[in-house]
Structure 1
Amino acid sequence: MRILKKRWPITSILYVMFFFVIVMPIVLVAFLSLRAYTDILLSNITSRTMQTLEQVSYSIDQEKSRYIRTVAAIASDNNLISLATSYHRSTQSKDLFNSSIQLENQLKNYLHDMPDVVSAMFVYRDGGAYYFEGTHFHNINTRINENLLKSTDLYQKTLQNQGRVLLFGSEENVLIESNDKYILSAAIAPQYERSFSDVEMIYFVIQAKTFENLAESTSNQDGSFIILDGSGNIMLDTSKDKSKNIEKQTIEQARNKKSGNFETMVYDEKMFVTFLTMERTEWKIIYITPYEQMTAQVREIYKLVMNVSAAGLIIFLIVSFFLVRSIVGPIKSLIFQMNKMKSGSFHVDLELAGPLEIYSLGKTFQNMTVRIQELIIERQEQEKLKTRAEIDALQSQINPHFLVNTLNAIKIMAMLSKATNLVEMTDSLIKLLSATFHRGGSYIQVFDEMQSLEKYIHIMKVRYGDRFKVEYDIDDGVTNTYVLKLLLQPILENAIIHGFYGKEAMGIVKITSRKKNDQLIITITDNGKGMEQRTMEALLHEKKVESLCGIGIANVNDRIRLNYGEPYGLKINSELGVGTEVIVILPLLSNDPDHSQAS
């Protein structure tokens, strides 16, 4: 709080303002823009990666289905199983050879369009096996001892799922001695009666070309694919440096969701993982890529933005320094001259400089000092003239009481002369003048205002005769409310003098008053000759003084608005040959405002 109350130099204020208004927004916009760009980039990369995974998963699904269909067809071929059993049961070399040739031909019929199949092995229940080396040459040794095969988990798993084709990855194919990373195996335990078949399991070794092509597509990238079967076993891992820790960590996070992405740390390196579950199977395909590789473009843009921003800020600070100096320097000079003026010296030696506003301020200060000296001289002259004017005003002032007393003397003389009309007219004029000269306040009750109007009407009737009459329709609820003095007399006078001028028929003026919400509405209507629109506008704007009290209709409108505001005032409606209606809109005042202000 003390910092806020402290008077800061304008230099500090401008530097702080520049920092918060320009520097901080630039830094904030740059930061938010980079964050937004990073989010958009990651979103686009993730979207493209998911599309790639969907395409890859489709290809793998197709290839896997082809393997399963072929293996299942072989296992369900009664003739082929019968030939394999005959081969096992043959004791004669000729029969053994014939069965082998027939069995090989049958397998070639199934596998001629599947060069991926390296070998097939028929394992017999009571020992022994039949080997088929495939239709194409593969530099892979797949001859496995059937007893060792029977001791593996995959063999037991296949027997437990009799009639189902199971695929196994490199983790479970421990008996195959090969440097090929893309070896799969398929196994099935055929469902036949023991009397018909001796085959306990058929075991296929497959060189998965689709997986190999997938690995080659990522060989020039830092990212890698991992394919898992439904049990979480690794079917394929294309990473160059395999790490069981990496695989376990990634598999664990991807296991419980069908698809998605997440970030993980591997040996202090941030990795971005995207995964997808294949539609037809429960296999998962996972793509792992270094986070730095994904955000390399963002980092380049970040460096560029930071360098440009830093250069811009340095230039801005240099420009700001000279700008602040050009503003503050002339202001300090102006303050020095003001202090001289404060001490009584009006000799200003100010060098005008700085921006237009500061230059204008200095120029204005110079003109002000000259004007002050002129005003001092004028003030001295005015004091002399004022003293003389007060003496002249006292000499020319007419005492209102003298005027009233004189009229009373005229009234007494008229009474002595028995001039009744003159007595009544003089009496009305005395009361009207008393109300005009009364200094007790600016407000009067509606009842008293109407009484004053009666006196004025009496004088006008003596002057113009019985050419007009006045009708009243005053709401009893407004007689005790307060209005400004002599408010209605100029309006009534205008109706009598101008409205009925040249009119032969009897003139009628109707005065009504009523309450409307919190307003007092007084309407003065006459059946005079009416007026044009421009005449009505002139009445509200031209301040001619032709009334007894020296107040015209425009002055009445101004008095109302000055006292109460724009919603109040006069409205004039008139039609030529029909008459005129003047509506006076006032606030409804139950108490005398003069007394309220005094208290």
Structure 2
Amino acid sequence: MKVKNKDRIKRQNKKTIRSEMVNMLVWTSIMTMLLVGGGLSVIIFQWSSIALREDMDFYMESVEKQFTNHLLFWERSVIYLSENENMNYFFRTGSTEGIEKVMKQGINLFSNQNMVSDTFPIVSDYYVFSKNMEYKGIHFYPETQSADNIKNTRIIDGIKRYRDQDKMFYYRKNGQEIECYFSVYDDDMERMGYCVAIFDMENINKIFSKLEKYQTYYWSIQTNDGTEIGGTGLNGILKDELINLDGEIKKDHKKYLYKKNQDSFGLSTYIIIPKSKLYLDIRPGFQLAWAIAVSMFIAVVVSALYYSRRVTYPLQRIVKKIEQVGTGDFETKLENYNILEFQQISDSFNEMTVRIETLIKEVYETQLLVKEARLQYLQAQINPHFMFNVLTMIAIKVKKHRDEELYQTVTSFAGLMRGKLFRRNEVEIKLKEEMEIAGFYLYLQSERFKDIITYNIEWESDEIKECYVPRLCIEPIVENAVIHGLEPKGTEGRIRVAIREASEDSINIVVEDDGVGFNVNEMDDRKDNKNPRVGVMNIQRLIRNLYGDKYGVLFQSEIGKGTIVTVCLPMRKDRTV
């Protein structure tokens, strides 16, 4: 049983042909997927990075150009106003008659360049001032009189501040508005008056919001002195670090792509985008490449599973048929196959089962003949039951004649025969019954060698008498002690049998004699039937087959001093077999 279990475990640990085929094809698929996916990824990366870099440069340049074109509106409007005679007259005298009409005409000429998305103006208000501080303002959005008065007051204050500074352009922020103050000159570069343009930063943001496709971006509008008047900032990058009009810069271990432009009215625009955002548009290409590779992998795995099953299914059928033969079904047959090698196996297998079935029938018939011969032999022998009944009858007659010693001798002999001959079908019996058989033997030998052989049997407790032990596991050892230990001694000898608990789940039966003893190391070299170890080793194999290697028989012997044999058995109150 143990051998079968070990063989079954070994088979379970073995790999199948199908698993090996699937593993081989799966690993091939993985390598193919990595090569295809990696190769496509490299190609897509190289091609896309160039194309997307050009696209990003174009996009940044396009946004800057839009902002520049919107500033051209105001530049052209100023040129128009400076060349208009009515405006020149206003600048010199401060007369505002007809000035509003001229200002509206100038705005209408270039209004399409002022609008973002044809709806939102970049310059929401502008004013003109004469030398004597007379002024006129135009608003793109209607305003209440009170709001107009507040704004006029703020603009007049701004003009006064601008006149006190030696600057060509003066910028001032007011919420979402940027006020730009500058002077108007004639052909001889003489100052005629002043202009104020109010930029709507909310509408300027709409121009740069087109960069949101890159998720993270930075832009800034700065004056000549580096003052930022609008934008998100440059993420810690200084404008002096941006040497060229466009290029790449590294800051804090990160790379950025940038564009800068020098615009009208003393303004410069800067756009910076992290280079990592360049790869956002490459991602779909990578996903496509790996989708192709994974699809190939799945297709190969599915194919591997299909074809491996197609190849291994006949093998599984063959293994199943072989197992059926192992259970004794020799009529099972393998079917025909289209594959030549499998068909050859099928033919050989079918021929083998026919031959085995024929041989078994022959062996079975031979065994029947042998069994019949043995039966005839047994019938010719003395019936053991008859012999036991005769011994019992003799014991009863001896008992009637009051010969107790002879009665005990006959009874012990009958009990010994009964234990050895009539309980052969029992593998295990109770310990008290086994010791009763050993006691019968010892009594008979003590009667035979009167005053030479003595014995005693010691029980540690009555509880262990009910334990089950292998039949005839103690009597042969006691018999060995008498035949090989005490008889060769020729003088008085004693046998002591002690039964005691070894642990909570085991017991020891110790058979000790003071006979001639023997050399344990030389005992294995004796090959004759007189070797006492032959019978004991049979007991050893029986115990270990029943209970495991933890239990068995232990020899201790010394020449001239005697022998001690210890039998270790489990403490069981029910049968194992």
TM-score in terms of structure 1 length: 0.47
Greater relative CO (CA pairs within 8 A, separation 6+): 2
**TM-score of the pair, normalised by structure 2:** 0.48
